[in-house]
Amino acid sequence: MSAETNDAMLELEAVTKSFGEGEARVEVLHGIDLRVRRGELVALVGPSGSGKSTLLNLIGLLDRATSGVLRVQGREVGPLDDAALTKLRGETLGFVFQFHHLVPALSVVENVMMPAALRAGGFDAAMRARATALLEAVGLKGQGERLPRQLSGGMQQRVAVARALMNDPPLVLADEPTGNLDTQSSDQVFELLRERHRELGTAFVIVTHDPTLAARCERVVRLVDGRVVADGTPDEVLEDRRARKA
């Protein structure tokens, strides 16, 4: 294995994804090639329906590619069965979703602990301590015993960030993490992600509609109609957008 491969968090080669059968079959992703290195902060942008969530679900091992190769930390995931995928997911990935951020039936601190608890098969004191510290880090000290519905949307999303970091995963996937938040909360949550990225070297792939957030990432990937049409620094990609608009 070359040093280059070792450096890769994520590799996609000619990945396609189709939904439906026969007549109703629709190809949503057409041959995606993408590499994400360890510790990268990547924004995934593109118009609605371009396939961002579909791509993120593939990367997140929540869904399987129709064709092509997907490697996570150099390991090809195609041949893995559901149990192995679940294990890999629990160990290497953290998620922040736009909706259904948290498990409403569980308290805030239990939500944060859950990735570790699922790995260990139960809760323990060390987990609780770590979860409490993470909650403090996202500015939610003392909120651990409340239920998610008792928190505001922004607070809930910060809990989701804490949860995504619980197992200290090398890669966190966020699908419009700030999509339903007001500007101020959205800024707070995004800053939190960036801080974690800087402090822990965690790689992030963040789907966002917001160009100002995308501009604060290191790299921006633009998806249009299921193809990567631009990939580079925010200046390059977002400049490109402005140019096309004009």
Ligand X SMILES: Nc1ncnc2c1ncn2[C@@H]1O[C@H](COP(=O)(O)OP(=O)(O)OP(=O)(O)O)[C@@H](O)[C@H]1O
Could you list the residues that contact ligand X (CB under 6 A)? 19-20, 26, 28, 46, 48-54
Which tokens in the block code for residue 144?
Answer: 């651990």
Task: Mark 94-133 with x for binding to another protein (rule: CB under 8 A) and - for no binding.
Answer: xx-x-xxxxxxxx---x---xx-xxx-xxx----------
Q: Are 159 and 108 in contact (CB under 8 A)?
A: yes
Shortest distance, position 179 Cβ to Mg ion, whole Å: 9
Q: Which stretch binds another protein (CB under 8 A): 43-51, 59-67, 176-184, 189-197?
A: 59-67
**Residue 21 binding another protein, by CB under 8 A:** no
Shortest distance, position 49 Cβ to another protein, whole Å: 13
Select from ligand X, Mg ion, another protein, none the partner in contact with residue 86, using the beta carbon and a kind-dependent cut-off of 5 to 8 Å: another protein
Select from Mg ion, ligand X, another protein, none the partner in contact with residue 3, using the beta carbon and a kind-dependent cut-off of 5 to 8 Å: none
Site for another protein, rule CB under 8 A: 53, 57, 60, 62-63, 82-83, 86-87, 89-91, 94-95, 97, 99-106, 110, 114-115, 117-119, 121-123, 163, 167
Which residues of this chain interact with Mg ion, rule CB under 5 A? Answer: 53
